[in-house]
Amino acid sequence: MNGNEKVSGSIFQLQHFSVNDGDGIRTTIFMSGCPLRCQWCANPESWSLKPQLAFFQEKCRHCGRCAAVCQKGDSQCTACGACVPVCATHAREVMGKSMSVKEIAAEIKRYMVFYRYSEGGITYSGGEPSTQINFLQAMVDTFYNMGIHQAIETCGYFDWEQASHIFEKLDFIFVDIKHMDRARHKQLTGCDNKKILENIKKLGRLKKEIVVRIPLIKNINDTAENIKQTAKFVQDNVPDVKTEILPYHDLGTYKYQALGMDKYKHIYTPPSATDVKRTKAAIESHCVKTVEYK
């Protein structure tokens, strides 16, 4: 066993046969941990590096089986998961788990034939993959040596000196621009966008295939001025850039209550098909190509 295989980290999903996160058939590794707190986040379970116990109250029949096996009580829950298998209605679920690179590699090897014939591969997602920089490095090195196509979905908020050598080994990069206004970005995500925009400029110099994603939220970042500034920024700083519009949806809002995170829940208005079409036209008017992965 080499040193990389011994490295472990936290993931909250290992999704095979993904077709939304790059070309071909892919395995998407959803890594836990994120520095941002986007108000529209569909995966709040990704914020913490630790496993979390979700409780879906509407499924509970108050049978008491969970309480009978609990060693700590709700106020001191460690997400050990002892209550999950005894719940007949599946009202409890542990979100997140620790896996080693060796364990993930064993999973990946089972799907190599699908990657090969579809020109697919692996996509690191999250959360923000660079939050677990050593874990990410170990996986990238391992799968680079196996000759597997590797992509990443990043929010762009990372330390360039720590992560640049990782990005040099990747084949494809998805990076978000959520809002061009620094103060508004901080209000919406908890962090300003200075580091993100600087990192996108540096990624542009790597001459990798890059898609800049815009999570489109109605009346938040869909103004003509913000879209214009976004298109101009990517055109000026990323050669041969493509953009992808990701329309906001509220499908993940149920998780906030299940995780006891109601205070973080925000519900916005999804953009209409006309809104999305208009935004694409505005971006393309600045000679920036738009694409869709679905």
Q: What is the mean pLDDT of each run of 10 residues along the chain (294 residues)?
A: 86 93 95 97 95 93 91 80 93 94 96 95 97 97 96 97 96 97 97 98 95 96 96 95 95 93 94 96 94 86
Q: Which of 45, 39, 78 is nearest to 248 (CA)?
A: 39
Please compute, for residue 152, the number of CA atoms within 13 A of its CA located in the half-sphere on the CB side.
27
Q: Note if the bond before 9 is cis, omega within 30 degrees.
A: no
**pLDDT, mean over the chain:** 94
3-state secondary structure (DSSP) of residue 62: coil
φ and ψ of 4, to 5 deg: -65, -40
Q: Are 113 and 159 in the same domain? A: yes
Q: Are 279 and 180 in the same domain? A: yes
Which residues neighbour 291 within 8 Å (Cβ) at sequence distance 6 or greater? Answer: 211, 242, 243, 244
Beta bridge partners, 176, equal 213
d(CA 121, CA 115): 5
Which domain range does residue 83 map to?
A: 54-93
CATH of the domain at 199: 3.20.20.70
Q: How many residues does this entry show for the chain?
A: 294
Encode pLDDT of 103-158 as tens digits: 999 999 999 999 999 999 999 999 999 999 999 999 999 999 999 999 999 999 99
Q: Are 89 and 160 in the same domain? A: no
Residue 260's pLDDT is 92
Q: Note if the bond before 127 is cis, omega within 30 degrees.
A: yes
**Residue whose tokens read 């496993």:** 51
d(CA 94, CA 72): 16
Q: Are 109 and 226 in the same domain? A: yes
3-state secondary structure (DSSP) of residue 98: strand
Residue 197's pLDDT is 98
Residue 257 lies inside a defined structural domain of this protein: no
- Find the DSSP H helices in the chain: 3-6, 65-69, 101-109, 112-118, 133-145, 160-169, 182-189, 194-204, 224-237, 254-258, 273-284
Number of domains, the chain: 2
- What is the model's pTM? 0.94
Q: Are 43 and 59 in the same domain? A: no
Residue 258 lies inside a defined structural domain of this protein: no
Give the other-Cβ count within 10 Å of 191's Cβ.
17
Q: Are 87 and 205 in the same domain? A: no
| Residue 180 · residue 140 · CB < 8 Å | no
Q: Which tokens in the block code for residue 197? A: 């925009």
The distance in angstroms from the start CA to the end CA of the chain is 37
Q: Are 169 and 235 in the same domain? A: yes
Residue 269's pLDDT is 93
CA 168 to the chain's CA centroid: 20
Q: Which of 160, 262, 247 is nearest to 205 (CA)?
A: 160
d(CA 283, CA 212): 12
Q: Please identify, among 62, 93, 124, the residue that sits at the C-terminal boundary of a domain.
A: 93
Encode pLDDT of 44-66 as tens digits: 999 999 999 999 999 999 999 99
Beta bridge partners, 8, equal 100
Q: Are 62 and 170 in the same domain? A: no
Which residues neighbour 276 within 8 Å (Cβ) at sequence distance 6 or greater? Answer: 216, 245, 247
